[in-house]
Structure 1
Amino acid sequence: MTDETAAQLTWCKSSYSGNEGGECLEVAISSAAVHVRDSKDTARAGLSLTPAAWKAFLALTTP
């Protein structure tokens, strides 16, 4: 993902992220991928996952 692409996405902060810092993620969904980045370091490279990979990840993390 390029910086230009990251800037054009609409990022949503995880509902598990508190106001005290710590481990926080942001997610942005585009037509071809689900993008994940560290909310405290948005200049750092994030991950781009296929929708199928994101769905599989959620299935593993949802009780």
Structure 2
Amino acid sequence: MYQAAQAQIARHMETFRAIRQDFPDQFEGLCRIQDDLGEGSYLFRNRTTNVRFSLRDLGDGPVR
């Protein structure tokens, strides 16, 4: 079950990378909303450090 959850999270990250690539203005709008709302709105977290991170900190990788 843990592997299935990791795969689902990876797919979500790929989707947001694709949005960043294809719709940069809309992606920036989402980032601004997260900035306004603060850390509680961060969607992803580093599983090693257990620290949540913003869409702005979404690294490079495959896109969906």
Same-fold status (TM-score > 0.5): no
TM-score (norm 2): 0.28
TM-score (norm 1): 0.28
Normalized per residue, the structure richer in helix is 2
Higher relative contact order (CA 8 A, sep 6+): 2
